[in-house]
């Protein structure tokens, strides 16, 4: 779940509409943009390609983020799962039949480590991360401007080789995220219809009753 | 020989010579129909399928995964993904003479030595038919029609038919049920919308698999 929190923090950074178009040119710009954000709500489509599948595996969900560190990352299909972070406490649930149950596969201890860093990311202070080495990469012929997050821990690098957070056309937005694995496979997450700065009720960051 | 060792040897011998309860005979016509219907428990190869998997483990632990499996000339391949799309396990059980299990990726806790074999057995039992024709076709004392494949090493596989087609697959070792697989819903191309696999016993678990896609 490391990357989810990184994404949330950086999406928040991307939500600062008042920042100049080149706000991501340097880390100071990122920090300033991050400081302006309050909330973000968006849906997303996740596409996982595998060589053995003719069609990619498509998952859909929604995300909500509220400063300083409330997060809801919910997959609605094909497998309903829910990660809720409220005031630093993380819970991951899984829909089993009609009931939400605690997802035992969640590595909450690892998440706690990351939660300790989320404030760094929300402050745009990526260089202080103990999990990822961030690199700001300007647009090139082959790829749009993005931040590359490279795992520092070799054991994590065996799972995720790097994460690319791609900036959108609108200044201060993120259009997509690509998660690269060692060997085969890329997971592409495209955000749709993001809304910034609205009030998000507390119950969006609570587990279902 | 001590009495205890003698008793253990006798038990082992009994297990070795024991058989599943005999099936009551049915007419030749019913046998032929049952043989065809039992094969409908398994999709026709080659195939590829994607399922969501909810695993209920000992001590009540529950976890969710996405499973991608494919069967074809090279063998049976199984991939497990986290909901976030991260590949956790990728293994190929080679077919035929070359045999063997090739693990292309396994991240903790899916790198345990016994995990790969158990996973491939789960997938193989649920989606691959036993080799050859059934060794017996008949009825349980309770009336259900069953196709039974008796395998070497005191193993057996049964497909139990319901009123509308295959309903359950059971595997046995030394007369003990090792897996029960319930086939739920109306199949599409040999794939049932829901498959529930149960491994009984102290370290047992249940996998609730829902079909996402197949070809």
Confidence of residue B35 (pLDDT cuts 50, 70, 90): very high
Q: How many domains does chain A have?
A: 1
Taking 50 as the threshold, does the pLDDT of residue A17 lie above it?
A: no
- Residue from A78, A154, A160, A161 to probe the interface with B (highest B Cβ count within 10 Å): A78
Question: CB A94 to CB B64 under 8 A?
Answer: yes
Residues of chain A contacting residue B61, judged by C-beta atoms under 8 Å apart: 104
The residue in chain B having the minimum alpha-carbon distance to the alpha carbon of residue A1 is B84
Alpha-carbon distance A206 to B40, whole Å? 45
Q: Which of B54, B85, B213 sits opposite A94 (nearest CB)?
A: B54
Please give the mean pLDDT across all residues of chain B: 89
**CATH number of residue A198's parent domain:** 2.50.20.10
Kindly state the percentage of chain B with pLDDT values over 90: 69
A7/A162: higher pLDDT: A162
Any idea which of A101-110, A157-166, B57-66 has the lowest mean pLDDT? Answer: A101-110
Confidence of residue B2 (pLDDT cuts 50, 70, 90): low
3-state secondary structure of A84: strand
Question: CB A105 to CB B215 under 8 A?
Answer: no
On whether the CB atoms of residues A115 and A107 are closer than 8 A, the answer is no
Helices and strands: H and E segment counts in chain A:
4, 11
Angle at A12 between CA A7 and CA A16, to 5 degrees: 145
A122/B200: higher pLDDT: B200
What is the mean pLDDT of the segment spanning B123-133? 94
Residues of chain B contacting residue A160, judged by C-beta atoms under 8 Å apart: 86
What is the mean pLDDT of the segment spanning A179-185? 80
Angle at B17 between CA B12 and CA B19, to 5 degrees: 115
Alpha-carbon distance B133 to B32, whole Å? 11
The residue in chain B having the minimum alpha-carbon distance to the alpha carbon of residue A58 is B85
Task: Indicate the length of chain B as a whole number.
Answer: 215
Residues of chain A contacting residue B104, judged by C-beta atoms under 8 Å apart: 183
Parallel/antiparallel/unpaired status of strands B194-199 and B75-81:
unpaired
Cis amide prior to A50 (ω within 30 degrees):
no
**Residues 58-117, chain B, touching A (beta carbon < 8 A):** 61-66, 68, 70, 77, 79, 81-87, 90, 104-105, 107
Give the residue numbers spanning the domain of A78: 2-205
Taking 70 as the threshold, does the pLDDT of residue A24 lie above it?
A: yes
pLDDT at position A173 is 66
B206/A154: higher pLDDT: B206
Please give the mean pLDDT across all residues of chain A: 78
CB-based burial, B58-89: b 16+ in 10 Å, e otherwise = eeeebbbbbbbbbbeeebbbbbbbbbbbbbbb
Q: What is the pLDDT of residues B98-123, one digit of tens each?
A: 568 999 998 878 888 789 999 999 99
Confidence of residue A130 (pLDDT cuts 50, 70, 90): confident
Q: How many CB pairs under 8 A join A and B?
A: 83
CB count in 10 Å sphere of residue B152: 5
Taking 50 as the threshold, does the pLDDT of residue B24 lie above it?
A: yes
Any idea which of A182-196, B96-110, B116-130 has the lowest mean pLDDT? Answer: B96-110
On whether the CB atoms of residues A122 and A68 are closer than 8 A, the answer is yes
What is the mean pLDDT of the segment spanning A70-87? 91
DSSP structure string for A121-168: HHTT-GGG-SSEEEEEE---SSS-SEEEEEESSHHHHTT-SEEEEEE-
pLDDT at position B10 is 43
Distance of CA A162 to the CA centre of its chain: 13
Confidence of residue B212 (pLDDT cuts 50, 70, 90): very high
Question: CB A4 to CB B84 under 8 A?
Answer: yes
Residues of chain B contacting residue A100, judged by C-beta atoms under 8 Å apart: none
Chain B: closest CA distance from residue A28 (Å) = 31
Question: CB B84 to CB A160 under 8 A?
Answer: no
Residues of chain A contacting residue B77, judged by C-beta atoms under 8 Å apart: 52
Instruction: Give me the residue spans of the domains in chain B.
Output: 22-42+132-184, 43-128+188-215
Taking 90 as the threshold, does the pLDDT of residue B86 lie above it?
A: no
Taking 70 as the threshold, does the pLDDT of residue A167 lie above it?
A: yes
What is the mean pLDDT of the segment spanning A50-63? 93
Question: CB B85 to CB A57 under 8 A?
Answer: yes
CB within 8 A of A145, min separation 6: which ones?
A: A24, A137, A138, A139, A166, A167
pLDDT at position A175 is 78
In angstroms, the Cα distances linking A202 to A38, A61, A207, A208 are 14, 19, 10, 12
Is B176 touching A (CB cutoff 8 A)?
no
- Residue from B76, B87, B104, B211 to probe the interface with A (highest A Cβ count within 10 Å): B87
**Residues 40-59, chain B, touching A (beta carbon < 8 A):** 48, 50, 52, 54, 56-57
CB within 8 A of B74, min separation 6: which ones?
A: B92, B94, B95
ipTM, 2 dp: 0.84
CB within 8 A of A128, min separation 6: which ones?
A: A117, A120
A8/B175: higher pLDDT: B175
pLDDT at position A111 is 46
pLDDT at position B15 is 44
Read off the pTM.
0.85
Alpha-carbon distance A105 to B48, whole Å? 26
What is the biggest distance separating any 2 CA atoms in chain B, rounded to whole angstroms? 59
What is the mean pLDDT of the segment spanning A135-148? 84
pLDDT at position B166 is 97
3-state secondary structure of A117: helix
């Amino acid at each position: 779940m490391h990357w989810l929190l990184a994404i949330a923090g950086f999406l928040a950074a991307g939500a600062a509409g008042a920042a100049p178009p080149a706000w991501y040119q340097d880390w100071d710009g990122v920090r300033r943009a991050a400081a302006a954000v309050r909330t973000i709500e968006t849906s997303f489509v996740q596409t996982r390609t595998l060589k053995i599948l003719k069609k990619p595996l498509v998952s859909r969900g929604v995300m909500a983020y509220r400063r300083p560190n409330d997060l809801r990352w919910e997959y609605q299909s094909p497998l309903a799962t829910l990660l809720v972070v409220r005031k630093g406490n993380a819970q991951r649930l899984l829909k089993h039949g009609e009931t939400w149950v605690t997802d035992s596969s969640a590595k909450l201890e690892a998440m706690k480590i990351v939660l300790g860093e989320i404030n760094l990311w929300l402050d745009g202070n990526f260089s202080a991360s103990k999990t990822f080495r961030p690199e700001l990469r300007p647009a090139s012929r082959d790829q749009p401007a993005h931040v590359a997050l490279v795992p520092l821990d070799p054991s994590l690098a065996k799972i995720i080789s790097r994460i690319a957070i791609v900036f959108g056309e609108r200044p201060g937005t993120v259009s997509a995220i690509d998660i690269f694995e060692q060997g085969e496979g890329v997971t592409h997450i495209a955000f749709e219809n993001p809304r910034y700065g609205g009030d998000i009720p507390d119950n969006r960051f609570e587990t279902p009753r | 020989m001590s009495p205890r060792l003698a008793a253990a040897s006798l038990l082992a011998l009994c297990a070795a010579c024991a058989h599943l309860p005999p099936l009551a005979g049915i007419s030749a016509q019913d046998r032929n129909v049952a043989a065809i219907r039992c094969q409908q428990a398994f999709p026709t190869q080659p195939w590829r399928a994607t399922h969501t998997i909810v695993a209920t483990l000992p001590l009540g632990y529950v976890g969710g995964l996405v499973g991608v499996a494919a069967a074809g000339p090279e063998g049976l391949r199984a991939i497990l993904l986290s909901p976030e799309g991260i590949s956790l396990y990728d293994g190929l059980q080679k077919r035929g003479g070359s045999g063997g299990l090739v693990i292309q990726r396994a991240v903790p806790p899916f790198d345990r030595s016994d995990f790969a074999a158990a996973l491939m057995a789960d997938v193989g039992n649920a989606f691959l038919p036993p080799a050859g024709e059934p060794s017996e076709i008949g009825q349980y004392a309770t009336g259900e029609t069953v196709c039974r494949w008796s395998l070497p090493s005191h193993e057996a596989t049964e497909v139990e038919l319901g009123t509308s087609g295959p309903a359950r697959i059971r595997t046995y070792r030394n007369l003990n049920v090792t897996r029960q697989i319930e086939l739920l819903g109306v199949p599409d191309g040999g794939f049932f919308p829901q498959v529930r696999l149960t491994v009984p016993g102290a370290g047992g678990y249940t996998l609730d698999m829902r079909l996402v896609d197949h070809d």
